[in-house]
Amino acid sequence: MSCRAAPWSRPSAVPRGRSFPSSARLRNPFGGINVWKNPIVKNAWRIGDVPMMFGLPSGLFRCMASGSSGDGGFSRPQSTDETPMPLYSWPDKQRPRVCILGGGFGGLYTALRLESLVWPDNNKPQVLLVDQSDRFVFKPMLYELLSGEVDVWEIAPYFTELLKNTSVQFVKDSVKLLRPSDHFRREPGGSSTGGVVHLKSGTVIEYDWLVLALGAEAKIDAVPGSSEYALPFTTLEHALKVENELKMLERRRFGKSSPGIEVAIVGLGYSGVELAATISERLKNTGTVKAINFQTTICPNAPPGNRDAALKVLESQNIQLFLGYSVSSIREVYASEDSSSMVTDAKEAAGDDKKLLLELKPAQRGLQSQVMEADLVLWTVGSTSQILRLQPPDAPYVIPLNGRGQVETEETLQVKGHPRTFAIGDSAALRDPSGKFLPANAQVAFQQADFAGWNLWAAINDRPLLPFRFQNLGEMMTLGTNDAAITASFIEGLTLEGPVGHAARKLVYCLRMPTDEHRVKVGISWLAKGAVDSLASLQNAVASSFLPPTSTTNPCPPSPAAMDPDSEITFDFPPYLCQYKSGRVFRPGSNATVPAGTDPLTGVVSKDIHVGSARARVYLPPGVDADAKLPVIVYFHGGGFVVGSPARPSTHAYLNDLVARAGAIGVSAYYRLAPEHMLPAAYDDGWAAVQWAASLGDGADPWLLDHADLSRVFFGGCSAGANLAHNMAIRAGADGALPKCVTVKGLLAVHPYFTGKEAVGAEAAFAADVRGFMDRTWRFVFPGSLGLDDPLVNPFVNDEARAAVAKIPCERVLVTVAEDDVLLKERGLWYHRELKASGYAGELELFESKGVGHAFQFDNLHTPQGVELQERLVAFVNK
């Protein structure tokens, strides 16, 4: 294609033979008259009841002919037969008129680029910048508003302040309608206008050249309830609203023994990850961030160095990752301060706290639907182009758009078929040499603005235009105060992390500020506020690198990049882990832990013990009399034998609540996880915890010595933990396995994990690969196993196994299932039926939670279903 454009006063004509727009023919008052050849009605037609010339209301031409004030303001057409319309009056009648719509990176930097170029005499264009806000927003640093690192004026200066030393005019208004006319064929000497823009205020702007830099809007109406209850995070107004919501939540929770703040973030691209890291760091131990992503990886398009750095930060904070899920709906409920009940009618909830419930649907096989509770929902996925709704209703396709609503452009950034219209930033659809769409980020907009400014200069001065070529210089992301990651594309394998990355990122962004004056102001401000802290953090980081490594129960793994240069996944066990070819194991969201101690909500006190091979977290309920004897619940957490621990926030909170409600001593077993420690390691560790509790802590634990009633011992667990509890009961049935003073009163099997080669019940409808998935995952955690016919996972596989189950020493067994637990509900029902048929002589109970999925209670403990399940377990213990 040619890269030469016609002079601004002589716009390029469309190819000969191009048909008159059919949309404009619909109301032609001249019937079959050829409007191109008729000298009276040439270039005139009607849209509705308004006479048009080149797509312009004829009243505008009468206004232009009558003159204007020339003050750069607005004048009104003098007409007696039509409603007057305000018309923007350009200061100069001769010089080119450039209208830029959108004051983001693309629009503002294009205006400043035009201002910086050297123009021939009398040819410097008049530039008008239109934006709906009065501030330019440096969007990559909106996150720092939430952390308090920056002030609003630093990243959102007023346009009038930025443009005060330039000739660029600014108008605060929103665009209502676009009517380009640069795609029509013109006769010599005809009008040179490029079209008009209608603003929502009613003002009409006639232009010679147009730059579309409107960006994209957050698509917040994706699912039922999202537009009502979720907040986007793309503008300054959004950021300030989120800041206010967080402040309100923090004030409401301050000094109260109430549940922590729960923030749900939908989407784990760059924006979602940066929000999660920033908010989690801000909340610290007062709240939890729950991050949901459709894919099983975060930031799928990010460089490996940035992604690995982000994963390390997310795993180190109180962030729960829900990978492979999508949100299907959001609804509002009201919970009382003690969260003992919820209602959906606000009239019934006077004085109560609002809560939001998100229904999660699995996007990957092997996952179960879940219901998540949150105080605040932030939506970071999806965007929509503004251009589609700005097209003329009588010519809805006058500006060519792709399927995503972006403007189709030439390599010169000109809109296809519109030589006087340029589109940049999120508004434009442009591909790289490989055919992929360019990312919608600030870096692309920066570079496009530079090219757009130059090509406007070239087009106005009848010079060749340059094809745009994007140069990826690298990617940056904030990961909290004094923490960031930068991967430079020109130095392969280099990623700056932590304080160094943070300092480098702020330096780059300071240099990218719009004007020299603003750069100096921001630079001085940041140096004054952050230099000492940054240097201190860097000093600490350097000093710590020379310290000898310390032994911990959960040592930090070596750098993922060093261990796994190719990132090739050899085993995927969603949603728990994936193992790479190098041997590295990634557990999304599983590293967050909370220390033992006094729980402010329940008053339960906990401690960690490590005696011999026994490791457990022990819980003591509040207000225990000195001579009181309490039942003992030996509990096993779930997680497919590959994730979890008693210190996991949701498990720890659940045990605090259970112990407080039941008035029991809790012993929550730590056990080694696969694949680092294959089964039967977990069973051996679980049995060590059982023996420790049955011996009163080897006769040395004061809580057990003073308060444990060994005639009321219970084994319990959820999912894989229920499997462990069942197998501990099998071991306890062997002669001499436990001291004679110990009586195992009951077994609590909550959503138990069992399986088998043969389908049972509704499992017959499962696809064949489901059984294969169950077999692969079981063999992954237990390579030496017999597969799905192993009695550890299929307790009724043969007569010998059935007889062992029938002899479990428990006086009663409670089996609970969840209605929406697609994968394991049938096995829970099967376990209950087979246990009854095996000859087991104890009492059997079955309970089903309605409308919820597998292990829902950990994230929805205080919902009606969560409370109902907890009360059923408590009643079973205290029966």
Tell me the catalytic residues.
719, 821, 854
Separation between Cα atoms, residue 380 and residue 684, nearest integer Å? 44
Q: How many CB atoms lie within 10 A of CB 336?
A: 14
What is the CA angle 718-719-722, rounded to 5? Answer: 60
Pinpoint the alpha helices (H) of 134-222.
Answer: 143-147, 152-155, 159-162
Residue 336: strand, helix, or coil: coil
Separation between Cα atoms, residue 514 and residue 140, nearest integer Å? 14
Which residue type does 356 have?
L
Tell me which residue of 478, 541, 529, 543 sits closest to 504, measured CA to CA: 478
Residue 705: is it exposed, middle or buried by C-beta count within 10 angstroms (0-12/13-18/19+)? exposed
Asked if 471 contacts 451 with a C-beta cutoff of 8 angstroms, the reply is no
Q: Give, for 691, the enclosing helix (H) or strand (E).
A: helix 681-694
Q: CB within 8 A of 849, min separation 6: which ones?
A: 816, 817, 818, 819, 856, 857, 865, 868, 869
Q: How many CB atoms lie within 10 A of CB 255?
A: 6
Tokens of 792: 């550890």
Question: For the chain, how many helices (H) and strands (E)?
Answer: 24, 41
> What are the DSSP E strand ranges found in 656-753?
665-669, 708-718, 744-750
Q: Give, for 539, the enclosing helix (H) or strand (E).
A: helix 516-544
Q: Give, for 240, the enclosing helix (H) or strand (E).
A: helix 236-253
Tell me which residue of 211, 205, 183 sits closest to 87, measured CA to CA: 205
Residue that has been written with the tokens 């070239």 in this structure: 458
Asked if 622 contacts 628 with a C-beta cutoff of 8 angstroms, the reply is no
Number of residues written out for the chain: 879
DSSP character for 450? Answer: H
- State the pairing for strand pair 428-429/407-408: parallel
- State the pairing for strand pair 230-232/261-266: unpaired
Q: What are phi and psi of 490, to 5 degrees?
A: -90, -5
Asked if 637 contacts 717 with a C-beta cutoff of 8 angstroms, the reply is yes
- State the pairing for strand pair 370-374/353-362: antiparallel
- State the pairing for strand pair 418-423/484-488: unpaired
- Sheet harboring 319-323: ordered strands across? 230-232, 376-379, 261-266, 287-293, 319-323
Q: CB within 8 A of 213, min separation 6: which ones?
A: 100, 101, 102, 103, 104, 106, 107, 110, 423, 424, 425, 427, 445, 449
Q: HEC profile for 46-93?
A: EECCEEEECCEEHHHHHHHHCCCCCCCCEECCCCCCCCCCCEECCCCC
Which residue type does 23 have?
S
DSSP codes, 732-786: HTSTTSS-TT--EEEEEEES-----SS--GGGGGS-HHHHHHHHHHHHHH-TTS-
User: 125's torsion region: left (phi>0), alpha (psi -120 to 50) or beta?
Assistant: beta
